[in-house]
Structure 1
Amino acid sequence: MAKWGEGDPRWIVEERPDAANVNNWHWTEKDATAWSIDKLKSLLTSIEINSPELGSWKLSDIKPEGEASASNRKGKLIILYDWTINGKIEGKASDASESSSGTVEIKNFSFESELEEAEINVKLQPITNVLKKELSDQIILKLKQYLELLKKDFADGLQLPTAHGTSQSSKKSTVEVKNVERQDSSKTSTSGSSSLGLKISTKRAKLSDSFKCEAHELYRVFVTEEMIKAFTRSDAKVEGHKGGKFVFMNGQISGEYVELDPPGKIVKKWRSKDWPEGHYSVVTIELVQKEDCTDLSLVQTGIPSSDHERIKDGWKRLIFEPIKSTFGYGARIL
């Protein structure tokens, strides 16, 4: 038996007078989606440009689509987010006689990419390169503010104070925004101490296949517990609804359904058991009904680089082919 004060610090209850979540060791999570939608709308609609050179412009009707969450595990704050944002731009150029309007689209604003890699598309006639750059710079600034608020304000309370009145994060900076750098080919990323958190070298996989069935039938295969048990020939726990968790292949694969749009689209957070703890990829499956088959396209981002080929092979060998053989979806529809 360990002497007083020499035990594993994760279990020293004195660190918290109420013994709740000792040393912030246990997993806690907060859904930040609704909070984020309001915050992104507020931040982006505050953008205004007023100058003799560029004229007067402002953003409006901001519509964020996506999700965000904040989690605490082993004293580390993990931030996940994935957003596509659309809005309007209205105003008047300094040399114009009439007002004009256009649209703004922000894509690739995700924990899988660097903030500066967010795609900002402005459709406005006329528009100058100077105005476009100014808009992009202000949008990036507001997105950065959103991430700072997500970490500081929304996540407040996830890491509980100790008996001494301080949280684990006040002793040591342990915030991890899972800001994973995406690699489409030979691009590499090494682990480093970025101000936004630890990076993991990742890659992106894209696969496609055709199945001899209706789109709604194939959709059910990916969200129905009994069907997943059948083609994997293993135990599975599946909550086939938005926000529902899944675990299959005897615990090797787990995750959560992020978006379900039957019968054409499934988006889910997805991880392999042997990946770094807390790291999830994002899988997007799209199904297109054709005359005699259903075409499937799959994009998976955030795959640890060392596991890229194994994961791609696994989708073909352990998912697609077993689905065809188990349910007869490799045969022709007569």
Structure 2
Amino acid sequence: MPKGPVKGTQIKGSRYYFVEAQGKARIWHKLTKVSEGLPAFYRALAEQMVSIANPETMPAAVTKWCTEVMAKHADKTQIDEQRRANDIAAAFQDFAPREVETPDCYEFLKQFDAMARTYDAYRSQLRSIFRYCEIWGMRPAGSNPVDAIPTKGYKPRKRYITDSHLRRIKIAGLYGDDGRVNPSGLVFCCITELLYLTGADVSVVVRILEQADPAQPDEPHVCADGIMLRRDKTDGSSRPVIVEWTPRLRAVVARLLAIKDEQRKKKRPRRVETPRLITKVDGTPMNYEAYSNAWQKAMKRALRTGKVPPTMIRDLRAKAATDKDDDEGLQAANHLLDHTTQSQTASYIRRKKARRVKAVK
């Protein structure tokens, strides 16, 4: 029987289960369906753990944080946070929240010394967990043990994806290792194209609807003027952005609609119908995990050619900002990325060539 994403979980049939040991007996707690995705699984697991955890332990505090705080974050953010939460709960499993001191936290973070971004992510989450422990009365107020630990800080990425690199990555995703076209290769290419043309996050693009849903007017959707997008922001500052039609944007949306029509004609058994623009081969909605896995495989093939440097998904957003800045200026790039300030957008701009200016006189 296949194991689940987290220790102690199993996949049985089409559903995740948490298996609790009680002596020689094994109690199977039903969680979510595999098709619902990892964010739903993590939320269900956190709720299940709350019901059986000892409230005086750090694992219980971490579980409570996941249920009450993490659950409000975007799906992609939750995936990363839950992975870190599992590591934190395991490292401090023998502690009560009020017993953890600064040296304990520093010792835990030292394992990430060589990875500044990872170090800061764990530090930030650990600090948030202890802040809420204070709010919930699990620690004295003002006693956060992470406050005294400085952040690492890291240099911003300077990677710029050229048009040639982007084309090669899409080709690597279109064909498998055997040289044949992947069943989902065209969908991968279309998503990659949409990420670049819109400058949006994967979690937003995969949710685009074929048309507006009156019950969910804020959901990303195709409209008469282009594609309406709204970023997932926990502070509620996200504004709707309509990325207006261009020939290239129309072409990729038309291609995705054609792919869905072709899938419907095949009349696969148990096919799932969805209003989402982007679907998997079986008709189920595309999600971040599926695209991320496809990206990793495509990058491995692209790197073997020696003509594409290591590239991350988020570099597509930087390319969108950089090209928009070159063509229309920083303000246009700021509107595309939906940043509160232009300084935020400026951090995404990757200078691919020297700027040209006239002499003073």
Indicate the structure with greater helix content.
Answer: 2
Name the structure where strand makes up a greater proportion of residues.
1
TM-score (normalised: structure 1) = 0.26
* TM-score calculated relative to the size of structure 2: 0.24
